[in-house]
Structure 1
Amino acid sequence: MLTAEGAWKECLEIIQDNISYQKYKSWFEPIKPVKLADDTLTIQVPSQFWYEWLEEHYYNMLRSTIAKVLGKNGKLEYSVLVEKSDRLEDNRSIRLPQRPMGPSKPQEMNTFTDYHPGKIENPFVIPGIRKTNIDSNLNISYVFDRFIEGDCNRLARSAAMAIAENPGNNSFNPLFVYGGTGLGKTHLVQSIGNKIKHDFGDEYSVLYVSSETFTNEFVQAIRNNRASEFTTFYRNIDVLIVDDIQFFSGKEKTQEEFFHIFNALHQDGKQIILSSDRAPKDIPDIEDRLISRFSWGLSADLQIPEYETRYAILERKANDNGINIDSNIIEFIAHNFKSNVRDLEGAVIKLLATASLKHVDEIDLNMAKSVLKDMVKSSHTQVSIESIQNYVCEYFGIDTNKVREKTRKQEIVEARQIAMYLSKKFTKSSLKTIGLQFGGRDHSTVIHAISTVEERLSTSPKHKRMLSELEQKIEVATL
């Protein structure tokens, strides 16, 4: 007979295969199974914050894992500790169920978003007969109120808000949001969907889907001779949000299918929202006709947040978790975590998790420095041309090897020139050595690059801010 310990052990084996070892050790190893009764597994977590973190970030994985281990009627319940003591078993706890899978009213029909490989259960409806009631796949915590606006994202956020207020009837169709990892693309595009659902109810069918899920569903539909039904389903979505569109790269059949779906939705005045880690023109192995359509509406980039925005993000994250963090700690994190929003939030989460495990009521600056020291660059790191290339290419969202290749793409040329300029400023390398590190280029190319960057610094506020952010990042690494 399956016990709580046995069931949770099976769950952990599945979870380990789906997340990094560090995340597994941090968030799942401390959990203890409590009991198993009536297909409901109860697990004990250290705090209310712990419960909310699991539900926000691992809900889908936990739901599918419980279904695999306990069957389709399996449920998960949390026992959350509310008092501290030296012995874990003496703590009082409260019981909290896993959040419901969807609206309380029964759905009229299964949808393609419930799809798992080999398990398509008539998810389609006949157009014109009745409107599909679908699970939008939206994370309810991704809302505009929790998306901090700054110079780095103002255009994208303003366009997103305009779409949410008038979906399909605006100049931003499609909206193409792009930027590096962890800058808030998923948060922003899902905020649109959540606002539409909140303001318009069932008037619009909204669907958020990753490009990987879209591709997997399409492959499964072909395998089951249901490609036409797949197309019919997607053509009847009012607001389609596709995340990480760059993963369509090289998938010719998927691109062709999406091309026809895109055309049908656009012609019918349906809203299309896309995200990518790079601008449309820089996505490799994507058909030109798709690139052209991606540029029909508005392409808006998310940039690395400036200090003031980073500070505001950290304050919001702390408030969301109901804690007060000293301003000195917020300043410390804001100064040392500059590459993206995800790193900022990760620093706060690590602090909170450590404080929760150690039963610390107040976090001070010394504790913050100790806990986050592995996440902050070593204070004695020697900057090199290679590390500068990495910083610059990460900033531009391009592969580091690109700046060493003989390509004349504008974005890569600009990144190469900036990296050469910074290499001269922060290293003692000769112009000849710098040129060799950039694909064997002549020293005259380095001189031209430095001159070009200096000219832009004197005429372009955008480039001045860009260089300032990159220089700050390098200076932190060389303190």
Structure 2
Amino acid sequence: MATAIKIENPSVEKQNLKAEDDVVLQLADAWQTICSGLRRDLGAQIFGQWIKPIKLARFDSVSGELQLILPSEFAANWVRERYLDRLLMAWKIHSVDVKAIAFSAKAGTARIAEVKKSSAAIGQESANASSDKFQLDLDPRMTFDEFIAGNSNVLALNASQRMASPEKPLFSPLYLQSSTGQGKTHLMHAIGHAYRAEFPNARIIYMSAERFMIEFVSAMRRNEAMEFKAALREADLLMVDDIQFIVGKNSTQEEFLHTVDSLITRGKRVVVAADRPPQALDGVDQRLLSRLSMGLVADIQSAGLELRRDILQHRISTMPHQDVPADVVEFLARTISRNLRELEGGLNKLLAYAQLTGRPISKELAEEQLSDILSACRRRITIDEIQRTVCEYYRLDRNEMSSKRRARAVARPRQVAMYLAKVMTPRSYPEIGRKFGGRDHSTVIHAVKLVEQLRGEDTEMDNDVRMLLRQLES
């Protein structure tokens, strides 16, 4: 007979609840970790609208079915249709014995919240929080160990590690600047984890600029502005993300300025992050601009191809029993280049689909299942552009791409161009053949396979292809 753990049922006898608490707490911890990942992958708006309202209801330990509750039937259907595979894969990755997920629209409060509250060490939680007003919520996966370094982010990484070290920082505030999805939020969470490990009783505050504004306005309406200010200025480490959203709000800017001044004067640590440099913050008070610029502005550039490869390999290494062919890793690294959040999200979606359907992971499967991400990320490189670049590189006349000459000095660059056309464009083999003097699709297939083989055997050929890829991507 199946044993169902009714997470939300208050009528279960206390002795039975005690026996179930370990399982319930495991579910709670796993769900917290899963939510952190989904918040990062889906973005704050989508996560807040569809995932955050989900409550854990009950778990059948024999069938492995976990029931999730949403506020309405519409919400339950929406999440089921769009996020079931992703949620199920997330549970499997975190080694929880969940084999199926059911959605319902029942009202009620999950018992999990009660168990968490009664089982947590309140004293330690208080030490990890800045104050009762600002509960510290750090993603457990966003640590320095999980941050992959590359030329584009090494300055920001080193500065962040120094900010979290026991030594007095050489600069404050630290201003992390990058476009969306390049790792600045990861670094802020990593600073929080490392600093808390060094100073377990430190008062740490991490929040978005939007939350800062909401909390400040709410405090003023409740006549609690003084308490709000005092709580902020007690921080040993203050981190504010997406600072670009605080511009244009005079009263909020004023309070943030005084808070930063107070903390810096007392030798405390301040970290802010934004998608643009301080000088590009439109509508910012000049005094606040001066404070934000007086420390270190660490710019994170877009991740290069090597870094994207390293990130994919690292993520795959943390997922047991996942076999991702090298050509798929290369395809994802080259194609999903706008930001790292999309890169990891694409990998997660591909792994989830392959595991849940039993289909082997391949480049064809990636193209099929990630078409929406790929179409948004792929720069529209044309075959004409590839032919022109290859001819310039090998110093050939452009007409040789369509000629019938078979001399190696002409045929090999032509084959390289065919290979690049298949790798870098969505064109089919017959379409590529037509662009190379009306050649048959089998000729293109032969060229692609030959160049792939030569890249593994001939260092000079591999270097040529890498150089051409770099030129075409730049």
Post-superposition shift, 1:363?
A: 1.6
- Counterpart of 2:390? none
Alpha carbons 2:7, 2:58 under 8 Å: kept: no
Letter in 2 for 1:53: I
- Counterpart of 1:193? 192
Alpha carbons 1:148, 1:312 under 8 Å: kept: yes
Match 1:364 to one of 347, 362, 365: 362
Post-superposition shift, 1:80?
A: 8.4
- Counterpart of 2:122? 106
Identity of aligned residues (%): 30
Q: How does 1:2-401 map to 2 (within 5 A)?
A: 36-38=8-10, 53-54=34-35, 56-57=37-38, 76=56, 79=59, 100=116, 104-107=120-123, 123=132, 135-166=135-166, 169-202=168-201, 204-327=202-325, 328-356=327-355, 358-360=356-358, 362-377=360-375
Aligned pair in 2 of structure 1 residues 379, 163: CA closer, same or farther (>3 Å)? closer
- 1:102-122 deviation line (CA, Å, top 9, x unaligned): 9922259989x89xxxxxxx9
Aligned pair in 2 of structure 1 residues 108, 340: CA closer, same or farther (>3 Å)? closer
Letter in 2 for 1:155: L
Letter in 2 for 1:344: L
Tell me the SS of whatever aligns to 2:372.
coil
Alpha carbons 2:7, 2:56 under 8 Å: kept: no
- 1:449-473 deviation line (CA, Å, top 9, x unaligned): xxxxxxxxxxxxxxxxxxx979517
Taking only aligned residues, the RMSD between alpha carbons, in angstroms, comes to 4.5
Post-superposition shift, 1:166?
A: 2.8
Q: Equivalents in 1 of 2:204, 2:228: separation in Å?
A: 16
Post-superposition shift, 1:205?
A: 1.1
Post-superposition shift, 1:320?
A: 2.6
Q: Equivalents in 1 of 2:333, 2:362: separation in Å?
A: 16
Q: Which one has the bigger helix percentage?
A: 2
Pairs aligned (count): 324
Aligned pair in 2 of structure 1 residues 348, 39: CA closer, same or farther (>3 Å)? farther
- 1:281-335 deviation line (CA, Å, top 9, x unaligned): 0110001111111111100011111111101111122223324343411101001
Letter in 1 for 2:34: W
Alpha carbons 2:188, 2:239 under 8 Å: kept: yes
Letter in 2 for 1:218: F
Alpha carbons 1:81, 1:93 under 8 Å: kept: no
- 1:379-412 deviation line (CA, Å, top 9, x unaligned): 998679xxxxxxxxxxxxxxxxxxxxxxxxxxxx
Post-superposition shift, 1:52?
A: 5.4
Alpha carbons 2:182, 2:302 under 8 Å: kept: yes
Letter in 2 for 1:38: P
Tell me the SS of whatever aligns to 1:145.
coil
Aligned pair in 2 of structure 1 residues 159, 56: CA closer, same or farther (>3 Å)? same
Alpha carbons 1:241, 1:274 under 8 Å: kept: yes
- 1:204-232 deviation line (CA, Å, top 9, x unaligned): 11111100001000000110111111111
- Counterpart of 1:472? 473
Rg larger for = 2
Task: Return the TM-score normalized by structure 1.
Answer: 0.58
Alpha carbons 1:206, 1:237 under 8 Å: kept: yes
Q: Equivalents in 2 of 1:219, 1:184: separation in Å?
A: 30
Alpha carbons 2:7, 2:57 under 8 Å: kept: no
- 1:174-203 deviation line (CA, Å, top 9, x unaligned): 00000101111100111001111122211x
Q: Equivalents in 1 of 2:352, 2:46: separation in Å?
A: 20
Letter in 1 for 2:344: E
Alpha carbons 1:109, 1:123 under 8 Å: kept: no
- Counterpart of 1:423? none
Alpha carbons 1:81, 1:92 under 8 Å: kept: no
Structure 2 gap ranges (5+): 13-22, 66-97, 102-110, 383-468
Task: Return the TM-score normalized by structure 2.
Answer: 0.58
Tell me the SS of whatever aligns to 2:137.
coil
Tell me the SS of whatever aligns to 2:254.
helix
Aligned pair in 2 of structure 1 residues 280, 471: CA closer, same or farther (>3 Å)? farther
Aligned pair in 2 of structure 1 residues 334, 199: CA closer, same or farther (>3 Å)? same
Post-superposition shift, 1:246?
A: 0.5
Structure 1 gap ranges (5+): 1-32, 86-90, 115-121, 125-133, 385-467, 474-479
Moved more, 175-184 or 321-330: 321-330
Q: Equivalents in 1 of 2:372, 2:193: separation in Å?
A: 36
Alpha carbons 1:79, 1:93 under 8 Å: kept: no
